[in-house]
Structure 1
């Protein structure tokens, strides 16, 4: 019998992040709920501040905390699953997904230009368009599904330091050709940052495809239960050091708290199990919606009708995830009607929880996005976004059916 040497991603998720046995033998990760750490003597404390050997391992929880560091190792292990040298990578955990995204952009693109995907999470779009210019970073937005346009934008902006995209775009479900864009970025001497929140490392592993930096809102699928806000950034240790990302996080103060890190670690352990069910339900709900006479179009990477279905099939593993966008034939009014009449589905923003969340981007998450950019990205008044949960698929479908029937 051949002995299996490489663990499955399910096994990695359960054991990820663990390093040393706890001094008291705790089976699960302790919560180091402390703001500061005690030094044995002045010399040990002084060496810690000078980053010298023999110094204290921890100083202050804004700089680093054992519980937070275990979460960092865990997410790093999942994102680096299958890489030849995962030990070359490191991660920083943050108090929110936007803290990870904004700190990452400030560190990696300081004083330069960003070529960004036109369809992005609303706050990311707002940060790049409204706040980043005052901080010395300019941005142009482009349809990342068109490689010609991406290349033209890079040629037009030789000062580009960062290409920024979402592996699956929020909320349009556009799938980017990460491998091809990574090659373009490398050819133009720029870095590629990928927000992998929608897909998670269970479905897409951007480092395998050539990405330089991966960010997550761990609030979503990685946490998985709607109980915590958090974010993480993963990159090669050398890049993290060169970009001074740790200094940015220290001085901007965005590190995750130990309790939030501990809650998120619990989510990490069940990520593969949950993602399998999300994906299974997602396909069933997408197929139902595509057949409904009041739905104009469904955007789900697993459907043959999706513009990048072939691409998605080539880069996604273990299914197509639990996120769906669909266009209602009644426009804005139909979107509002559907939101107001669901019963099992939860009317709430965010995503990736065990229960099904439904929201209307035009009136909610993307109401803050510039109107022209919203139009360019295809975020219309009738677009609905649904984060399919792990309930029975037939129950989710029945709820959508009764709510759609109420519409005129």
Structure 2
């Protein structure tokens, strides 16, 4: 087991240099470096940086832009980041267009020559699990002289390597399946090249003090040892649930890129491997009231936010996101854990029937 380094300050040499390679814990830490090296290998990246949260990691990318820069982002994306962009974009003096990124032509049409500096996509896109064609969008982005950043939290490196498909930066909320035990808040960025933008992000992390703590990095390293085993089980469970729920009389639609009728299935098949991830959503017959009643009636699933943990979670996202959400009111977001898929289905089945009968 690697040691846990908790030192916050380090001795200078007699000539005031730092031959140890460390000076102060706000900028660097040996335990954090250890976890970063593993994450860089998982993404086949030139470098990786750990942050105190996924939001901190994502925010650092946007804060590395210059005033006046133009950004393209998805209409369907993690709601917390979308709200942050609406709030902070004007303060950062960056303009942002939100488009349906599952159609690459929409990005091409939104490009502002000479102004667009960043295209941010999320695939699969939370919570509708839309699929963006990373390779096609990378080509469009680079032709415009911009950088492509991909939020790959729901795919994880086990299912997709965005850098290999042409992305410049990949972001993960490591809180989710990378850690997978619901006991660490963390974010990670990985890069294709350690260029000037990457160095700017390094400086932002140090200046903000946004580095992940050493104990959290230690726990993340623990979790990464079982990551491929968990990801395999969770993807297999999600696939079973998607297939069985597709025929349920109280489910009007299953949103899961592994289903052949999913609009992004062909692209997902091309750019994902080892399955299609652990996330899916269902739309419940009977609308919002039936969806909320279904979530209230589960016994094995846990009513909680977040995703990617070993426990299965269910959430009515429209209630969380509010009136401006693109999420339909009849939608329930499901994060599949490592429980037996038959048990998970049986619990959802009884909850759907109980909600339909009004017995909740």
TM-score range, shorter chain: over 0.9
Instruction: Give 1:236 deviation, angstroms.
Output: 3.4
C-alpha RMSD of the superposition: 1.4
State yes or no: 1:30 paired with 2:3.
Answer: yes
Unaligned runs of 5+ in 1: 1-27, 49-54, 81-85
State yes or no: 1:125 paired with 2:82.
Answer: yes
What does 1:176-255 align with in structure 2 at a 5 Å threshold?
Answer: 176-239=132-195, 243-255=199-211
333, 337, 353: which one pairs with 1:389? Answer: 337
Q: Deviations over 1:349-405 (max 9, x none)?
A: 0000001011111012x23xx71xx34xxx111111100111100000011011111
291, 299, 314: which one pairs with 1:358? Answer: 314
Q: Deviations over 1:52-75 (max 9, x none)?
A: xxx441111111000001111110
98, 122, 138: which one pairs with 2:55? Answer: 98
Instruction: Give 1:94 deviation, angstroms.
Output: 0.3
In structure 2, what is the Cα distance between the partners aligned to 1:327 and 1:158? 42
Q: Deviations over 1:12-36 (max 9, x none)?
A: xxxxxxxxxxxxxxxx111111222
Normalising by structure 2, what TM-score?
0.96
Q: Deviations over 1:292-325 (max 9, x none)?
A: 1111111101101111111111111011111001
Instruction: Give 1:407 deviation, angstroms.
Output: 1.4
What does 1:3-402 align with in structure 2 at a 5 Å threshold?
Answer: 28-41=1-14, 43=15, 46-48=16-18, 55-80=19-44, 89-108=46-65, 111-154=68-111, 156=112, 158-239=114-195, 243-364=199-320, 366-367=321-322, 371=324, 374-375=325-326, 379-402=327-350
In structure 2, what is the Cα distance between the partners aligned to 1:103 and 1:300? 30
Structure-2 change in CA distance of 1:275 and 1:126 (3 Å): same
Instruction: Give 1:158 deviation, angstroms.
Output: 3.9
Normalising by structure 1, what TM-score?
0.85
Tell me which moved more, 142-151 or 234-243: 234-243
- 1:113·1:139 contact (CA, 8 Å) conserved in 2? yes
Q: Deviations over 1:334-357 (max 9, x none)?
A: 121011111100110000000101
Tell me which moved more, 204-213 or 228-237: 228-237
Instruction: Give 1:40 deviation, angstroms.
Output: 3.9
- 1:32·1:258 contact (CA, 8 Å) conserved in 2? yes
Instruction: Give 1:269 deviation, angstroms.
Output: 1.2
In structure 1, what is the Cα distance between the partners aligned to 2:293 and 2:180? 28
In structure 2, what is the Cα distance between the partners aligned to 1:257 and 1:247? 17
In structure 2, what is the Cα distance between the partners aligned to 1:110 and 1:261? 33
Instruction: Give 1:188 deviation, angstroms.
Output: 0.4
Structure-2 change in CA distance of 1:340 and 1:184 (3 Å): same
In structure 1, what is the Cα distance between the partners aligned to 2:314 and 2:9? 41
- 1:94·1:100 contact (CA, 8 Å) conserved in 2? yes
- Length, aligned pairs only: 356
Tell me which moved more, 394-403 or 145-154: 145-154
Unaligned runs of 5+ in 2: none
Q: Report SS of the residue matched to 2:119.
A: strand
Structure-2 change in CA distance of 1:66 and 1:242 (3 Å): closer
Alignment-derived partner of residue 18 in structure 1: none
339, 352, 355: which one pairs with 1:404? Answer: 352
- 1:71·1:262 contact (CA, 8 Å) conserved in 2? yes
Q: Deviations over 1:231-272 (max 9, x none)?
A: 011113432665511111111221000000010111111111
Q: Deviations over 1:113-166 (max 9, x none)?
A: 110011111111011111121112111100001122111001x46411100011
